[in-house]
Amino acid sequence: MKSKRQENKELQRQKIIAAAKACFNECGLSDVQMKDVAARAGVGVATVFRYFPKKDELIVAVATQSLDTTEEEFRRIVALPLSAFERLEMLLDTLLGSQQADSYQAGRFREAFESYASFQTAPLPGIEDYLNRQNDIMTSLAPLIEAGQEDGSIRRDIPAKPLLITIINSYASFINNVALKSSISYLDEDIQPSTQQQVLKKIFLDYCRGD
C-alpha cells in the first residue's frame, strides 16, 4: 500500500505528464521546452527536472501513457465470448475509432513520437518502458490467436499469430498515416481518408476470414 507521500509524488508526476502531453500536442516535440511544461503544470522548472532529468524521458513517459487506452480496450475485446473473427473486427473498429475526438491526438502523438525516436542516434532514455507496453498489448492478444487457430473463423492456411499481428499492426499504421493527412483536400470524395480506412478494413477482414 502506497504512503501518502508516494501518492502525492505520483499525482505530481501525472500532472507533469498531462501538461507535457498538452504542450507536445499543441507545439510538437522539438519546440517544447521544459519551462513550457512547468508553466502548464503550474510548478517550478526544478520540479519538472526532478521527475524527468531529460526532456526525452518526459517524451517517452507521455508516449508510454498514450498506450493505456489501447491496451485496456484490447484486453476487454479479447475477453469477449465471441469468435476470433468477430473480435478481430472489433479490434480494427477500435483502432479506427481511436482517430476520433481526443483519442486522435494520442494517435497523432504516437506517430510523431515514433518518427522522433527513429531519428535519434542513441535509444531514448526509458524507451524500454514504451517497448514493453507495446509487447504487453501484443501479448494480450494470445487468447484471440489461440481461438483463431481453433474455431475456424480465421483462415487456417496461414499461422494465426503472424496473420493477426500483421493485420492489426498494418491497419493501425495505415489509419494513423491517413488521418495525419486528413487536412489535404482530396479532389475525389471517393478517396477521402475515412473511405480508404473502411476499404482497407474490408480487404483485411475478407483476406483472413475462415470457413
Rounded to whole angstroms, how far apart are CA atoms 25 and 107? 11
The larger pLDDT score, comparing residue 82 to residue 4, is at 82
Per-residue pLDDT at 181 = 66
Distance CA(131)–CA(127), nearest Å, equals 6
Residue 101 has pLDDT above 60, yes or no: no
Between 56 and 115, the more confident residue is 56
User: What does the radius of gyration of the chain's CA atoms come to, in whole angstroms?
Assistant: 20
Confidence (pLDDT) at 79 = 96
Can you give the pLDDT at residue 192?
76
What pLDDT is recorded for position 53?
96
Which residues, including other chains, have CB under 8 Å from residue 40's CB and lie 6 or more apart? 19, 20, 22, 23
Give residue 82's pLDDT: 96
Return mean pLDDT, the chain.
Answer: 88
For residue 181, count CB atoms less than 10 angstroms from its CB and return exposed for 0-12, middle for 13-18, buried for 19 or more: exposed
pLDDT 10s digits, 20-47: 999 998 998 999 999 999 999 999 999 9
pLDDT at 188: 66
Q: What are the domain boundaries of the chain?
A: 4-53, 65-208
- pLDDT band for 174, please (50, 70, 90 cuts): confident
Q: What is the pLDDT of residue 73?
A: 93
List the Cα angle 82/85/89 in 5-degree steps: 95
What CATH number was assigned to the domain covering residues 65-208?
1.10.357.10
Same fold? 4-53, 65-208: no
- Give the model confidence (pLDDT) of 127-173 as tens digits: 999 999 999 999 999 999 999 889 999 999 999 999 999 999 999 88
2-6, 78-82, 118-122, 201-205, range with the lowest pLDDT: 2-6
- pTM for this structure? 0.83
Mean predicted confidence (pLDDT) in 115-119: 89
Cα 39 from chain centre = 27
Averaged pLDDT for residues 187-203: 81
Predicted local confidence at residue 189, as pLDDT: 65
Q: Does the 4-53 domain belong in CATH 3.30.750.80?
A: no
What is the Cα–Cα distance from 170 to 90, expressed in whole angstroms?
Answer: 15
Query: What is the Cα–Cα distance from 199 to 116, expressed in whole angstroms?
Result: 29
Residue 4 confidence (pLDDT): 82
